[in-house]
Amino acid sequence: MKNIILATLLSAAALSANAQEVNIYSSRQPELIDPILEAFTAQTGITANVVFLKKGMLERMRAEGRRSPADLILTTDIANLDAAVQAGLTQPVSSEILTQNIPETYRDAAGQWFGLTSRARILYASVDRVAEGEITSYEQLADPEWQGRICTRSGTHDYNIALTAAYLLQHGEGDTEAWLTGVKDNLARRPQGNDRAQVKAIWAGECDIAIGNTYYMGKMLADPEQAEWANAVRLIFPTLNGLGTHINISGMAMSKSAPNPENALLLMEFLSGDTAQSLYAEANYEYPLNADIAPSALVASWGDFTPDPTPLSEIARLRGAALRLVERVDFDG
């Protein structure tokens, strides 16, 4: 335990050596955010120090407590942002720039977190075995005509739990349980792998429909081996209760213990601005949240769609109930 405390103190001392700095804990890949942080430093002169944490970010911050050097956290999925708030690890931020740049649906009402980019949770459909317009809603995934034709990753994964929570908000517990049961009955195989693995399964003829995030299409097209999988499918932007397509976000929050809150706020505002939004969305094939910035040409080529306007904070509150329903129907079993 003494070694852990000493390591934390040394880390804090090292990160706090320069007053013109901001310290970031990020679950986003370094190659994605480094160009953006370099642009921030070039514009402001503030050094951005990053600790990449694929897992365990909140546990580390809890262990560090008030001595945590983190000013800002960058992560994906409303679940992770909401978990940081519920754990008391964030602080509210008030900024006219942030409220102007980030739509209300994609930020916390109390200013505890702000979205940066969005991704739609859509359907990948076989270009050969699924006709245009044959499926247009999430509700249809439970229809008997899709029996043995659907692939997906684990129902307990954050991405699918968020979708189930959105469904629960619109349809209630009973209908959501019936929907989950119907989708499970329609699976071609037990849930497994990541989103790209589902598209590969369509290419291999194992299933005809898969649930996945939009940005994986861009990642597959950029990979010579996986481009063949991507070309075997088309993207469908289904609606939920007729409202629009379910989306999730990458986002940011200021640490409650931030030693450099002024610099952290400057970075948050920069990340919501034109330069960062363009770089962020282009690098990971995501949708900018700043309405002044258009998606990349590739992302735009996938077509227009209407996002579900439901505030993500409302969906986040139902994640626990959604997980219990997924477990109740033994979705992964």
pLDDT digits (tens, 9 = 90+) for 261-306: 999 999 999 999 999 999 988 888 999 999 999 999 999 999 999 9
User: For the whole model, what pTM was predicted?
Assistant: 0.89
pLDDT digits (tens, 9 = 90+) for 143-181: 999 999 999 999 999 999 999 999 999 999 999 999 999
Average of per-residue pLDDT across 101-111: 95
Could you tell me if 120 and 240 are in contact, meaning their C-beta atoms sit under 8 angstroms apart? no
**How confident is the model at residue 29, as a pLDDT?**
83
Which class in CATH covers the domain with range 2-118+248-294? alpha beta
pLDDT digits (tens, 9 = 90+) for 73-83: 999 999 899 99
Dist CA 93 CA 59 (whole Å): 23
**How confident is the model at residue 312, as a pLDDT?**
93
Given pLDDT bands bounded at 50, 70 and 90, which one contains residue 5?
Answer: very low
Sign of CA dihedral 212, 214, 215, 217: positive
Q: Is the pLDDT of residue 110 over 80?
A: yes
Q: Of all residues in the chain, what percent carry a pLDDT higher than 70?
A: 94
Mean pLDDT, the chain, rounded, equals: 93
- Detail the DSSP E strand segments found in 127-262: 150-151, 209-213, 233-236, 247-254
Q: Which two tokens stand for residue 65?
A: 């407590």
1.10.1740.10, 2.60.40.60, 3.40.190.10, 3.30.70.270: which CATH number matches 119-246+307-328? Answer: 3.40.190.10
pLDDT digits (tens, 9 = 90+) for 169-213: 999 999 999 999 999 999 999 999 999 999 999 999 999 999 999
- Using DSSP's 3-state secondary structure scheme, residue 129 falls into coil
Q: Which two tokens stand for residue 203?
A: 């290419």
- Per-domain residue ranges of the chain: 2-118+248-294, 119-246+307-328
**How confident is the model at residue 19, as a pLDDT?**
62
Q: Is the pLDDT of residue 122 over 80?
A: yes
